[in-house]
Amino acid sequence: AMFDILESDIVVMQETKIQRKDLQDDMVLVPGWDVFFSLPKHKKGYSGVAIYTRNASCAPIRAEEGIAGVLCPPKSTTKFRDLPSDQQIGGYPRPGQLSGIVEDTVLDSEGRCVILEFPAFVLLGVYCPANRDESRVEFRASFFEALDVRIRNLVAEGKQVILTGDLNVIRSEMDSTNVIEGLHKENMTL
């Protein structure tokens, strides 16, 4: 019913907070829609991204989980970035493009990105890490760095890119109920 009300061909969700082992068909499958997930590998009830596409009008030609291309497609041991070029979305960070403060496998372990390629564009659905305390500063910065590099590389390959999701960035009062504290965390002022 919700999908009918939205009258949309693509629906992107963040904070799905479910583990792969807990997925049940009646919980996630919607008649007439395909769904693509990125789920946390280790933390229970944490993060997660899902993109639903209306299969009658909006079928992707490729789908990937993760931002860095280091995860593997289902039932495969080959990383997305190591697949034959005709099976890749592309734009993967090249050696030297990322600082390496946080390993690629760690960046992609929290279920924070699904990438779908359509004939006319590449869609990224993300749930970026929040800036909640000092312990996550390096992870957050590394995730944004990888996201920036991946998008720039895709654009350099001539692809149109659409970024969707929760960036967890506070730019104005509308973005948070606790604006002043949040702006200070982002090193910004009103």
Catalytic annotation, residues: 127, 166
Report if residue 76 sits inside a domain.
Answer: yes
Residue 156 belongs to some domain of the structure: yes
Whether 54 maps to a domain, the answer reads: yes
Question: Quick check: 190 pLDDT over 90?
Answer: no
pLDDT tens string 101-159: 999 999 999 999 999 999 999 999 999 998 877 888 999 999 999 999 999 999 999 99
Structure tokens at 81: 């970035």
As a whole number of angstroms, the distance between CA 185 and CA 29 comes to 38
| Confidence check: pLDDT of 185 > 70 | no
Tokens of 47: 């993060």
pLDDT in tens, 74-109: 999 999 999 999 999 999 999 999 998 999 999 999
CB-based contacts of 85: which residues, under 8 Å, 6+ apart?
none
Q: Let me know if 67 is exposed, middle or buried by CB neighbors in 10 A (0-12, 13-18, 19+).
A: buried
Binding site for Mg(2+): which residues? 15, 166, 168
Domain membership flag for residue 190: no
pLDDT in tens, 17-63: 877 767 666 667 788 899 999 988 887 777 889 999 998 889 999 99
Cα Rg, the chain, nearest whole Å: 17
pLDDT given for residue 176 in this prediction: 67
- Residue 186 has what pLDDT? 65
Residue 169, pLDDT score:
85
Q: Binding site membership: which residues?
A: 15, 166, 168
Cα 107–chain centre separation: 11
Structurally, the chain folds into a number of domains equal to 1
**What per-residue string of b and e applies to 68-94 under the rule 16 or more CB within 10 Å gives b?**
bbbbeeeeeeebbbebeeeebbbbbbe
Q: Are 102 and 136 in contact (CB under 8 A)?
A: no
pLDDT for the residue numbered 2: 82
Residues 6 or more apart whose CB falls under 8 angstroms from that of 102 comprise 138, 139, 142, 143
DSSP state, residue 139: H
Is 36 inside any structural domain?
A: yes
Q: Which of 4-13, 64-73, 167-176 has the lowest mean pLDDT?
A: 167-176
Is 80 within a domain? yes
Does residue 25 sit within a domain?
yes
Residue 84 lies in a domain: yes
| Strand 49-54 to 33-38 pairing | antiparallel
CATH number for position 107: 3.60.10.10
Residue 80's domain comprises 2-185
DSSP 8-state symbol, 36:
E
